[in-house]
A and B are shown apart, each in its own frame.
Chain A
């Protein structure tokens, strides 16, 4: 699917859930790492770890609240539990357990939600996590990561396992374009500027990063230079990158595969309005549930495209 602009093809590259699953197997040499999954290991790709380290893999069955509670107990007992499911079943179904058993006691549980966003396609709205970032960001002490591609997911998985503290990592279902190479600099809490530009800043994460790069390339042809920032860590957010964007460019567009309320856009605008108020526009799912359809059809239908980002940039630059 070209989305009318350039190279974005959801059938090429590696899915971020696959990169997570592979990185988890590699990290498994650390015997403290244990995995709890809710009868979806062939979807979350924790099955690689299951096959390699069966004694450290627990299938909790279709019981997400119990699954999260088990993760909390494992963490309190000194293990490093990775608790995985579809992001919506993990974050929405088990939210009180996440709040009370993980966040409040600040336990070292790694929550990994896959199949986030509308790009899962045909399964439809019941399986699409589009509130998960709002839920995760609301929790004191949580680190929240939304990587854009395979290499950055690999780096994010490693970083998540190395740091102490509750973390939510969000992965997607479809294959996504390659943006980073293995070994590229990736630090939690520090965004990556992928393209320099003095006119406007596009801040994105997840699958919207590739779209932002695409939009910036299209804008360059019109003489508009857009800075592109991959804000892979939504919390703690990279405030200095937002401040610089405000100081050095004329406005900020935030693009994410999430509802309007409580996601990256809300977080960036909170920081910008305090540090450096600037014109902003938002590309997200607004305030509605989606439907079934092919992933690329849905992205077009719900306005998550490079063209939508270009439109938002025009709104920001219009005086």
Chain B
């Protein structure tokens, strides 16, 4: 039976540091990838996997009673792989095989090759619809499993995100929680310069969601928001998590979101790891 995994605040902080270290080490070793997009979601996945939210069993990844986490912004795969390894789906040592020929840790998540990956993503905009499919199947089977889907703010420009939102709202899918990694930037510019999304919470409310806007780097706020989401009945929930692209690494944070799709150069790696802090 899949179970939740509940660690105390110190445990969660250590997990978050370890996940950040994995993200930096794996992308720098690969020489490519998206560390900044991964670093912004660390507290979110930390609380989901270790804050008593997701019920999962790494030894039985397809159990139909498990809760699902779908990473819609697939380019943040290093963040997903890091938390899956921490959760025990595969050895942590495998993380530095990221993007290498033959490794199941592909540049973007491939559900056929890696346990724990719930959806093959990388073409933005598709995760929420897949999440709805899971939520409907769970409801049809009368199970009490829940589905969480994480989308980027730039990704929210895709029409499909809003087709999905309309459907989830209209069908009262209360076992579905959509989380927006609201780091303010996409590939080529600030989201505000390309397609201002605000008021984003009002948009989701208009589509039939209950919403909350939180600090996505506060473990306490993320935890409280996910607790709240599980208590909502009759409506899907959208959590807008305000985050910082590249959070935890000064070199990336200094670019204020302008660092996209580039690893930290090898000669900056140890400084980055130092800023993140020790693994335990």
Contact = CB atoms under 8 A, between A and B. Distances in A.
Interface residues of B, number: 32
Could you tell me the dominant secondary structure of chain B's interface residues?
A: loop
Contact of B122 (A39, A43, A126, A301): A126
Interface in B181-224: 186-189, 194-195
Contacts of B105: 292
Interface stretch (A62-70, A148-156, A269-277): A62-70
Given A89-B123, A127-B122, A41 B100 contact: no
Contacts of B194: 39, 59, 61
Contacts of B102: 291, 293
Given A39-B188, A62-B155, A292 B103 contact: yes
A292 B154 contact: no
B32 A62 contact: no
B101 A39 contact: no
Contacts of B101: 291-294, 297-298, 301
Interface stretch (A117-125, A178-186, A222-230): A117-125
A61 B154 contact: yes
Contacts of B18: none
A62 B159 contact: no
A43 B125 CA distance: 19
A124 B108 CA distance: 6
Given A122-B32, A126-B120, A127-B108, 11 more contacts: A39-B189, A47-B188, A59-B189, A61-B186, A62-B155, A62-B157, A63-B159, A122-B107, A127-B107, A291-B106, A292-B107
20 contacts: A41-B188, A43-B187, A59-B194, A62-B158, A62-B186, A93-B125, A122-B33, A122-B99, A122-B107, A123-B108, A124-B108, A124-B122, A125-B110, A126-B120, A127-B107, A291-B102, A292-B99, A292-B107, A293-B99, A298-B101
Interface of B: 30-33, 74, 99-103, 105-108, 110, 120-125, 154-155, 157-159, 186-189, 194-195
